[in-house]
Structure 1
Amino acid sequence: MGALDAQKVVHQHQGWRLISCMWLHAGVFHVLANMLSLVFIGIPLEQEFGFVRIGFLYLMSGFGGSLLSALFIQYGISVGASGALFGLLGSMLSELISNWTMYVNKLAALLTLLFIIIINLAVGILPHVDNFAHIGGFVSGFLLGFLFLIRPQFKWLTQRNASPGRVTTPVKSKHKTYQYVLWVLSLILLIVGYTLGLVTLFRGVNLNNHCSWCHYLSCVPTSKWNCKSQNIYCLSSQIGNQLNLTCVSNGRNGTYSLSDPSPSRTQQLCAELCS
């Protein structure tokens, strides 16, 4: 119905799932938790910066979260607005950095925000939580915040709103130099990141094959739970009619005589190898 399914996105050209999955949830508790977070995070940002900027930031953060999730979780489905919500958290951090000189209790605000972010990301290492969407949304929102949540200098505002005849310190630039630098760097990183992510995804690349430890970012196995349902990833290589697979979770190797294995067949063999 619109859940994020990387196989359908890539092989059935259903790219709209990268956006539609944000509006679906896995139950009443899931949607209530996300909406409660949206009330406490989204409303203050919207009141401060307007619904257009925050709405666009929300959507693009969710898209970034879905994109990273699809690159790592290619066999399974994912739903929820958590990626977009983490984008709002990321934008709050970049807004604080970008407008650093305007804050009074800078260190307290920074430590409080970092504590909230770390706690929320830590929850993502539990089973059945798509922390890749959280991370992708957070990074997207962090960069987008430098673009859309930049504030003008206080002296510039004072000069602009000064009554006629009042002497004020002249300020030519509306923003500080470091704000312009962060704006340009963030724009470049966003364009490059989204472009490379989309190209990599639609080429059918599984990033787990290039990062053997990345699955721990989404689930860390302990004595209380395992991540077997989430970390069935294999490194693969094809030499002629010979397919070589190495299970990431247990290190087992397998060799199969297949000339042109389909992605589903490869994943089936990988699941058997990792079981």
Structure 2
Amino acid sequence: MGAAGDSLTEEAGAADRDLTACSGSSRDPQSGETLPSSSDGGGLQALSDDPNLISDLLRKAHGDHTKVQKWLQELGVDKENDNKGLNGADGCKTSVGGAAGDRNPAYGKEASAPDIEAAATELGAPQTFFCPISYHMFRDPVLLPTGQTYERRPIERWLAQGRSTCPTTGVLLEEPVKLIPNVTLRRAIEEWAEKHAPWMLGAGGKLVPVPDEERLPMCNGHEEIDGDFAIAVRLQEQEQRRAARSLAANQRLSNNLQRQAREERLAAVHVSRIQRCMKLLWMISIAHVAVFVATWRLSKWQFEKLDVNPLIGFSANGLSKVGATNHPAIVDNHEWWRILVSVFVNAGFIHLEATLAAVWTFGRFLSAKMSFISLGTLYMVSGLAGVLLSANFSTTLVTAGASGAVFGLLGTVLFEIMLHKETYANRGISSLTLLGVGAMNAVIGLTPLVDNWAAIGGLLCGTLSGAAIILGHRHGAGATIGEALILGLQILFSVLVIAIFVVATIGLLMKYEGYTSCDWCRSVTCFNTRWWNCDAAAILPDHCVYNIGGNTTTRITCPSGDTTSVEIFQPTQEALEAQCQSICAVASGSPATPPAGTGPDPQANDGFAPVDNNS
């Protein structure tokens, strides 16, 4: 079609031509049928003889005959055919806007009455004054329960056809449908007509109803065409399509909003979990600092010399008083509470600083992966496992057990990076950094009063526990590892941790002496250098102890830690105890004479010869 045809199609496409046809034939603008071009003589004749087209155009133009004539001229229809079409074909009257086509003042000289709708449009009547389904000016406007306003006669015909929905919105109407006169709109039309179109008013300034003779005509004996009903059907179809599109758009919007809300909830849960884990890290830090201050107080606010404790810390006696790992105290005195307290005992200031730095570095990383309970469980399992292993293998030394939990966190972080290596771009550098931190803490573990057995136990049980927790997060996440394999690994790791705890506890109950039965185990516990001596961590007896050698030499150890070797010529139980008390009294700065009858004369050195005194 040419440009004129396109213009016509755009202007008149909304009209329902198939339902306003006088001859009963159907034409649907949406069917894809193209109008003939101006070069087709037969097509132009068909256009000029088609009263349905004229009716559609007049309805679309709201009765503006000048606009209709312009459209027809653009299509190339001659003026005689224009007048013929506008005045009806085969005896049909073309009615538009509520005025008969044979009374049109613009296209018939015999017309004597004005076209009300066309005149009202030219005078600037608002669009709200026209019925949305008939394009006629309101004479008797009524309201539906949906709030839409229609002309009474068209909406009554609509409802009489068995329809139960609003023509414009498609909303279902409840039976019986009540039509309420729109008095406000009618008064507004009457006020406007009084100023601009007085011919619309009757006696008393009221709107004149549409006369019966101006209803749509009958053609060739066929049943009267209900144009208003047809247009209402078309409007409802358009509204339904628009509602369907709106429903689809709303569904997409709803899905997006639900997804966004779900993501916001997950983000809020994630933030809340991190905040709770931060509180846990603060609690752990406060516990370490509190135990450190308590140890300092029990040590009379003094630090030992660096050759005794190179970590700027306390003596073995001070650490033992606060609750450090002490095998004889746990096994013989049943002080099992030391296993828990020792998790928070640090040997010195350097040890405390390294512990807190690791807790916050590794703890903050794991707080994004674990919950408050998971992280707390991991920390305590690692720490307790380290203390239990240390109590079995460092049986003659006092040790601080804070390193066990640190190595447990380190092992879990390393497992997380290796398991989700595709997530971490710098996983190689991160792994090397973790190994460096572990090596530094292992060096600290070689000093007196710190034990690498605690680090080994914490690393082993901590890594297994952390792996079981992290693998639990992969359930249902589409992981490549099968669900059964994940569950099996979790069970295996948990069983191994429980087995380590059971074996270590049995070792304590059986008083296993790992330090004396394993030569290389001593090097793991502490390593002598020119800067420190591991004997500084030795557990001191609570009374005088003597050991008789095979060459009559007896080694006496006092509770103060001083040792003395003497030769015994006539060893008896009473004489050994008396001499032991005498030597230990001298070592403590309070000379004392053995009780009468319990030992030799000190002046004559009866039976005893001092050999060496290491004080």
Deviations 1:10-67 (A, max 9, x none): 1222222101122334455543442233222212212331221011110111101100
The match for 1:41 among 339, 362, 375 is 362
Q: Give the structure 1 partner of residue 413 of structure 2.
A: 92
**1:184 corresponds to which letter in structure 2?**
I
**1:214 corresponds to which letter in structure 2?**
C
Residues 202 and 224 of structure 1: CA distance in aligned 2, closer, same or farther (over 3 Å):
same
Tell me, in whole angstroms, the C-alpha distance in 2 between the residues paired with 1:102 and 1:151: 18
Following TM superposition, by how much is the alpha carbon of 1:125 offset from its aligned partner in structure 2, in angstroms?
1.8
CA contact (8 A) 2:396 2:538 kept: no
Q: Hey, which of these two has a bigger chunk of helix by percent?
A: 1
Residues 118 and 180 of structure 1: CA distance in aligned 2, closer, same or farther (over 3 Å):
farther
**1:79 corresponds to which letter in structure 2?**
A
Tell me, in whole angstroms, the C-alpha distance in 2 between the residues paired with 1:74 and 1:128: 12
CA contact (8 A) 1:152 1:175 kept: no
Residues 207 and 120 of structure 1: CA distance in aligned 2, closer, same or farther (over 3 Å):
same
Tell me, in whole angstroms, the C-alpha distance in 1 between the residues paired with 2:326 and 2:400: 9
Residues 113 and 175 of structure 1: CA distance in aligned 2, closer, same or farther (over 3 Å):
farther
Q: Which residues of 2 match residues 113-128 of structure 1 at below 5 A? A: 113-128=434-449
Q: Give the structure 1 partner of residue 499 of structure 2.
A: 192
Whether 2:457 is the aligned partner of 1:136: answer yes
Whether 2:379 is the aligned partner of 1:24: answer no
Tell me, in whole angstroms, the C-alpha distance in 1 between the residues paired with 2:426 and 2:469: 23
Q: Give the structure 1 partner of residue 376 of structure 2.
A: 55
Tell me, in whole angstroms, the C-alpha distance in 2 between the residues paired with 1:153 and 1:62: 26
The match for 2:508 among 185, 197, 201 is 201
Tell me, in whole angstroms, the C-alpha distance in 2 between the residues paired with 1:108 and 1:27: 30
Following TM superposition, by how much is the alpha carbon of 1:216 offset from its aligned partner in structure 2, in angstroms?
0.8
Q: Which residues of 2 match residues 145-224 of structure 1 at below 5 A? A: 145-150=466-471, 152-153=473-474, 157=477, 175=483, 177=485, 179-224=486-531
Residues 40 and 74 of structure 1: CA distance in aligned 2, closer, same or farther (over 3 Å):
same
Tell me, in whole angstroms, the C-alpha distance in 2 between the residues paired with 1:73 and 1:230: 10
Q: Give the structure 2 partner of residue 67 of structure 1.
A: 388
Instruction: Compare 40-49 and 131-140 and name the one that shifted more.
Output: 40-49
Tell me, in whole angstroms, the C-alpha distance in 2 between the residues paired with 1:116 and 1:207: 28
Instruction: Compare 126-135 and 196-205 and name the one that shifted more.
Output: 126-135
Residues 110 and 59 of structure 1: CA distance in aligned 2, closer, same or farther (over 3 Å):
same
Following TM superposition, by how much is the alpha carbon of 1:219 offset from its aligned partner in structure 2, in angstroms?
2.2
**1:133 corresponds to which letter in structure 2?**
A
Deviations 1:79-132 (A, max 9, x none): 352211111112212333444455444433333322322232233223332222
Deviations 1:239-258 (A, max 9, x none): xxxx9xxxxxxxxxxxxxx9
**1:201 corresponds to which letter in structure 2?**
L
Tell me, in whole angstroms, the C-alpha distance in 1 between the residues paired with 2:436 and 2:512: 34
Tell me, in whole angstroms, the C-alpha distance in 2 between the residues paired with 1:102 and 1:92: 13
Tell me, in whole angstroms, the C-alpha distance in 1 between the residues paired with 2:349 and 2:427: 37
Tell me, in whole angstroms, the C-alpha distance in 2 between the residues paired with 1:111 and 1:27: 27
Q: Give the structure 2 partner of residue 248 of structure 1.
A: none
Tell me, in whole angstroms, the C-alpha distance in 2 between the residues paired with 1:72 and 1:172: 41
Q: Which residues of 2 match residues 221-260 of structure 1 at below 5 A? A: 221-229=528-536
CA contact (8 A) 2:347 2:449 kept: no
**1:87 corresponds to which letter in structure 2?**
G
Residues 93 and 206 of structure 1: CA distance in aligned 2, closer, same or farther (over 3 Å):
same
Tell me, in whole angstroms, the C-alpha distance in 2 between the residues paired with 1:104 and 1:195: 40
- Paired residues in the alignment total 223
Unaligned 5+ segments in structure 1 are 160-170, 233-242, 244-257, 259-274
TM-score of the pair, normalised by structure 2: 0.33
Following TM superposition, by how much is the alpha carbon of 1:71 offset from its aligned partner in structure 2, in angstroms?
0.7
CA contact (8 A) 1:83 1:134 kept: yes
Tell me, in whole angstroms, the C-alpha distance in 1 between the residues paired with 2:344 and 2:514: 26
Residues 106 and 182 of structure 1: CA distance in aligned 2, closer, same or farther (over 3 Å):
farther
Unaligned 5+ segments in structure 2 are 1-321, 540-549, 551-572, 574-613
SS of the counterpart of 1:193?
A: helix
Identity of aligned residues (%): 31
Residues 230 and 81 of structure 1: CA distance in aligned 2, closer, same or farther (over 3 Å):
closer
Deviations 1:134-176 (A, max 9, x none): 221111111111111226559x54x6xxxxxxxxxxx797758
Tell me, in whole angstroms, the C-alpha distance in 2 between the residues paired with 1:120 and 1:31: 11
Tell me, in whole angstroms, the C-alpha distance in 2 between the residues paired with 1:175 and 1:102: 21
TM-score of the pair, normalised by structure 1: 0.68
Q: Give the structure 2 partner of residue 112 of structure 1.
A: 433
SS of the counterpart of 1:183?
A: helix
Task: Report which structure shows greater RCO (CA 8 Å, sep ≥6).
Answer: 1
CA contact (8 A) 2:400 2:449 kept: no
CA contact (8 A) 2:386 2:456 kept: yes
CA contact (8 A) 1:95 1:150 kept: no
